[in-house]
Structure 1
């Protein structure tokens, strides 16, 4: 029998979108909100699908970071003063949703849990989010 758990996590981070022509081309920050739904089998001994702290720790890797496309020329300049988290494309909420889901799935597997992200929402403001859903049947 599968069980679904939910966790909400917030982080602060700066990003910019080099392939976008508008305000988001400029370096700017958000308070990001991540909502994650995990489907899995509860451990027989503990009754836990996945420790909520696992989700918090994965998302926390982005907290107070500068997140840039690996091809952004600004990345090397900023890296002289502050670590930069680079992504394979522009760090949109859509892209971050997929990346964070992959990271959570990998950490759950590493810890030996039979648990996967079923749905994830990444909010970059109080009115805008990207959502990914996964059919794992």
Structure 2
């Protein structure tokens, strides 16, 4: 198996409803994002997934978040735009766009700063393996 990743970023504003502190106030971040896909086989060119293809898919999803007030987006109407929910949003959206049966999304890592972040592994019902 091969794990292929790309790093990207986006800027956005948000606030955490009912948070007991400063994060309840509107503020912004320059989030860093790492998206890792898994492939079971190589294509005829010897690649697991073309970086260009993965970057295009991820860009399509990141563009929905970039330079927006995340609280106003439909996905975050009933949930806080925390890094956890942002990672899940990116994971679900990218997964839906990865249509090759030899590829699956492995992880999405979201960093609010250079020193803090999290990794989302998606649905663990499949043990992190290809569906």
Given the two structures, how large is their TM-score scaled by the length of structure 1?
0.76
Which residue of the partner structure matches residue 74 of structure 1? none
CA RMSD of aligned residues (A): 2.0
Distance 2:101 2:67 in 1: 29
Which residue of the partner structure matches residue 105 of structure 1? 95
Alpha-carbon deviation of 1:114? 3.2
Given the two structures, how large is their TM-score scaled by the length of structure 2?
0.79
Alpha-carbon deviation of 1:38? 0.6
Q: Which moved more, 1:37-46 or 1:8-17?
A: 37-46
* Alignment partner of 1:26 is 2:19: no
If each structure's strand is expressed as a fraction of its own residues, which one has the higher value?
Answer: 1
Deviations 1:90-117 (A, max 9, x none): 01001111111010000112xx453222
Which residue of the partner structure matches residue 91 of structure 1? 81
Alpha-carbon deviation of 1:48? 5.1
**Is the CA contact (8 Å cut-off) linking 2:4 and 2:48 kept in structure 1?**
no
Which residue of the partner structure matches residue 119 of structure 1? 107
Deviations 1:10-66 (A, max 9, x none): 100000100211111011110010111110245634535251221122122211011
After superposing on structure 2, the runs of 4+ consecutive aligned residues of structure 1 that deviate more than 4 Å are: none
Unaligned 5+ segments in structure 2 are 123-127
Q: How many residues align?
A: 119
